[in-house]
Amino acid sequence: MNQVTIKDLARHLGLSASTISRALNDNPSINPKTKKLIHDLAAKLGYEPNVMARNLKAQHSNQIGIIVPEIKHDFFAKVISGIEEVAYNSGFTVIVSQSNEDEEREKLNANSLYMNRISGLIVSVSQTTNNLDHFRNLMEKGVKIVFFDRICDGLDTYKVVIDDYKSSYDAVKYLIATGYKRIVHLAGPQNLLSCKNRYLGYKQAIIDNGYNFEEELVVFGGMHEDDGIRSIKNIIDKGIKFDAVFAVNDPVAIGVSILVKKIGLNIPGDVAIIGFSNNPITEFVTPSITTIDQPAYEMGKKSASILISLIKGKTKLTGSKTIILPSKLIIREST
């Protein structure tokens, strides 16, 4: 069945297309009875407005784009939920895409969303992103962008984060205070500022608490379970002694837990483990895993609120602005 158009409504009622259009947009110049007649017919025939055409005429659309590394990751799913809640209440819809941790796919997503006439974009960059030109180009074309969690320092816009440095510092300080002395850090890609700050927080906590920083206790890798398994196996195969692991995120921490239990080590007796993000699975695995809680839903709500304010011109951007949300250490059985 063909989509019902304004011209179809005009033909049925013997009115001009411009009259139909003004009535559907609640223009006060149209008689209320005529307006009701048009709305009733539109509902009966299943008329749907052409959002693309409307957006082309408007200064901005009512669509917000979202690019995340992985939709399946609980953290990003919660952020998206927070964004959608604020967007819905503000009359905006969202289009979600994922980069799958690939810079080229991220570029394609950004261009595709722009072609869909988005007026704003909320982004957490992929772990392979090094060039920011695709975001810079969109900003030059007038698209408002807000970054969260994995941010781009080279662009003057709003960023919504937690204090990754302090969160990591406090986690490692807690491990040391609990009695652990040789703490491995399974670090993420250092082109990501969040991963870099988690590594620097770990390093400084080691030094500040009277221990020598040992490079052999740090493994730089990815951010999935397999990376955790592979990285801790590499440490074990080299014969490096350790009694605790601070992982860059929860999937990596889960990977560590899987391997150390498989080879017969006790958690936390032989090895303590701390993750990062407070993925629900960390509470339900055995033993449950100590982690750092990131307020994902609130991060999504804050990002959307800022973006919509920028789109509507209620907030002016005069430079880079970073909003830091609180985080907390959640202590569980693994430590």
Q: Is 72's pLDDT higher than 50?
A: yes
State how far Cα 222 lies from the chain centre: 17
3-class DSSP state of 63? strand
**For residue 174, what pLDDT is reported?**
98
CA angle 122, 126, 132 (to 5 degrees): 70
**For residue 56, what pLDDT is reported?**
47
Residue type present at position 285: V
Higher pLDDT, 202 or 46: 202
pLDDT tens figures, 91-124: 999 999 999 999 999 999 999 999 888 989 999 9
**For residue 205, what pLDDT is reported?**
98
* CATH code for residues 6-49: 1.10.260.40
CATH of 164-293, one of 3.40.50.2300, 3.90.1280.20, 3.10.180.10, 3.40.50.740: 3.40.50.2300
Q: Is 47's pLDDT higher than 50?
A: yes
* Ranges of CATH 3.40.50.2300 domains, the chain: 57-162+296-324, 164-293
> With contact defined as beta carbons under 8 Å apart, do 138 and 145 qualify?
yes
pLDDT tens figures, 51-65: 555 544 545 568 999
Q: Is 277's pLDDT higher than 80?
A: yes
DSSP 285: S
> With contact defined as beta carbons under 8 Å apart, do 138 and 109 qualify?
no
For residues 197 and 169, what is the distance between their CA atoms, to the nearest angstrom?
Answer: 9
* Ranges of CATH 1.10.260.40 domains, the chain: 6-49
Whether residue 326 is preceded by a cis peptide bond, meaning omega within 30 degrees of 0, is no
Which DSSP string corresponds to 214-281? -GGGEEE--SSHHHHHHHHHHHHHTT---SEEEESSHHHHHHHHHHHHHTT--TTTT-EEE-SB--TH
* CATH code for residues 57-162+296-324: 3.40.50.2300
Residue written as tokens 């490692």? 172
DSSP 141: T
**For residue 152, what pLDDT is reported?**
83
pLDDT tens figures, 279-302: 999 999 999 999 999 999 999 999
For residues 180 and 174, what is the distance between their CA atoms, to the nearest angstrom?
Answer: 9
List the one residue out of 246, 258, 249, 259 whose CA is nearest residue 286: 258
Strand partners of residue 247: 186
pLDDT tens figures, 132-181: 999 999 999 889 999 999 998 888 899 999 999 999 999 999 999 999 99
Q: Is 2's pLDDT higher than 70?
A: no
For the ranges 46-60, 245-259, 317-331, which has the lowest average pLDDT? 46-60
Tokens of 157: 């816009």
> With contact defined as beta carbons under 8 Å apart, do 9 and 42 qualify?
yes
Strand partners of residue 110: none
**For residue 1, what pLDDT is reported?**
46
Three-state SS sequence of 41-55: HHHHHCCCCCHHHHH
List the one residue out of 237, 241, 177 whose CA is nearest residue 214: 241
